[in-house]
Amino acid sequence: MKSNYDILVVGGGPAGALAAKTAAEAGHSVCLIEKRPAIGTPVRCAEGIGKELLKEFIEPDERWISADLQRARIIAPNGATISLDQSRAGNEVGYILDRKVFDRELVWRAAEAGSDVFVKTRAVAPIMENGAVKGAKVISAGKAMDVSADLVIAADGVESKFARWAGLNTTVPLGEMMSCVQYLMTDIPIDPVSTDFYLGREIAPEGYLWVFPKGDRTANVGIGISGRQSRDGTRARDYLDRFVAEHFPGGKIIEHIVGGVSICRPLPCTVADGLMVAGDAARVVDPITGGGIFNAMFTGRMAGQVGSECVSAGTCTKDALMKYDEAWRASYMGKTLERNYKVKDYFITLDDAKLNDLAGSLANINMEEFKVSTLIMELIKRNPKMLLELRALKNSIA
């Protein structure tokens, strides 16, 4: 590892990989460090992504696609099912990836573009000069060293520490941290081309439970519940075990992973002098679905683009880097995050009876295209009992 780079990327997930690839393609010297011994493991993800969203970054490849989906199903607490086929479900229908292979592919492409890559290498502190980030102190396979850089891109995931060390408050409120557990299960009866979302306070309070296929009789079976609903006896794993015992009693668990998903608003500011924050570290996960792969790649690539421009211009001040913060917020992705945050805030207030009512009213509608705005309009038309609160929701996202 050299001691000086133009850009240092902390974290080898999709955000870090796209940032490193983009910056390297722009001709800069780039170093990507990943604290784990292998890119892509352990997986902490349900691995779903919309088809069109994925294609914005990379052509689909069967080497890292576990399932090609045709429909999504939302299952209400009373079992009523809303089935959304490919033509209606938009980005909710897509692929289930094999992140172990997919993440490696992204980092491989960053390396191919010229970025240096070091695994088992963690940042332990930023190097600060006059309040600006100028690199990081790292430990690489046990060896401590300083790596200076004109710019650091922090893409160190939900447990991000780098941005916090540099002075940004990245703390996720307990109620907006989804506490998640997932089993990779095999030998279970599933629809291999459908993602299933189970709703309800008895099933997953302030969250949902998912069954995402990974093959004919194999699926990611996982759950996310709000941190404020989690306590002894009612932790995410307790709910998941109950569901699995009921629905997949003969299934075999071949992987057991846990993870945290933030569903708060993004960081108030994702740049500082010499620093950009991308992906889960920037809290750009979709607050409704908890999906974050696309948003990570989107912000990672944008950080790489703007960061490269600033390095070329010789100024990586907060003011110069603000173009990144403003651009992703103004993008379709940024606006969707803000709108979905408001929708999420409404939906977590619903009890099971209201969820059943809403699901019942949606069961037979035929939307030309499944959009959140269209969904709200349909709900208003079909739920006069909930007119006032739904209208308030519509106004809040208008």
> Which residues lie near another protein (CB under 8 A)?
35-37, 42, 44, 120, 122, 157-161, 164, 170-174, 177, 179-181, 227-228, 230-232, 235-237, 256-260, 262
90 versus 222: smaller Cβ distance to another protein: 222
Is 251 annotated in a binding site? The answer is no
Residue reference for tokens 């990081």: 136
Give the angle subtended at the CA of 266 by the CAs of 88 and 326, to the nearest 5°: 95
CB of 99 to another protein, least distance (A): 15
245 versus 330: smaller Cβ distance to another protein: 245
* 247, burial (CB in 10 Å: exposed 0-12, middle 13-18, buried 19+): middle
218 versus 262: smaller Cβ distance to another protein: 262
CB of 67 to another protein, least distance (A): 24
Is 372 annotated in a binding site? The answer is yes
DSSP 8-state assignment for residue 93:
S
Distance separating alpha carbons of residues 130 and 350, to the nearest angstrom: 49
Q: Which two tokens stand for residue 324?
A: 């990144």
Task: From 328, 312, 319, 284, select the one nearest 132 (Cα to Cα).
Answer: 319
CB of 126 to another protein, least distance (A): 13
Is 132 annotated in a binding site? The answer is no
Task: From 247, 265, 391, 392, select the one nearest 340 (Cα to Cα).
Answer: 265
Is 260 annotated in a binding site? The answer is no
177 versus 390: smaller Cβ distance to another protein: 177
CB of 211 to another protein, least distance (A): 18
Question: What is the 3-class SS of 18-81, one letter each residue?
Answer: HHHHHHHHCCCCEEEECCCCCCCCCCCCCCEEEHHHHHCCCCCCHHHEEEECCEEEEECCCCCE
CB of 162 to another protein, least distance (A): 11
Q: Which two tokens stand for residue 287?
A: 């607050």
CB of 80 to another protein, least distance (A): 28
Distance separating alpha carbons of residues 1 and 265, to the nearest angstrom: 36
50 versus 227: smaller Cβ distance to another protein: 227
Is 119 annotated in a binding site? The answer is no
210 versus 370: smaller Cβ distance to another protein: 210
Is 15 annotated in a binding site? The answer is yes
179 versus 299: smaller Cβ distance to another protein: 179
Distance separating alpha carbons of residues 222 and 48, to the nearest angstrom: 12
CB of 258 to another protein, least distance (A): 3
**What Å distances lie between residue 196 and 77, 107, 174, 241, CA to CA?**
13, 30, 26, 17
Is 45 annotated in a binding site? The answer is yes
Is 34 annotated in a binding site? The answer is yes
Is 306 annotated in a binding site? The answer is no
H-helix or E-strand containing 97?
strand 94-97
Contact 37, 119 (CB under 8 A): yes
Annotated binding site: 15, 34, 45-46, 48, 99, 123, 280, 292-293, 372
Annotated binding site for FAD: 15, 34, 45-46, 48, 99, 123, 280, 292-293
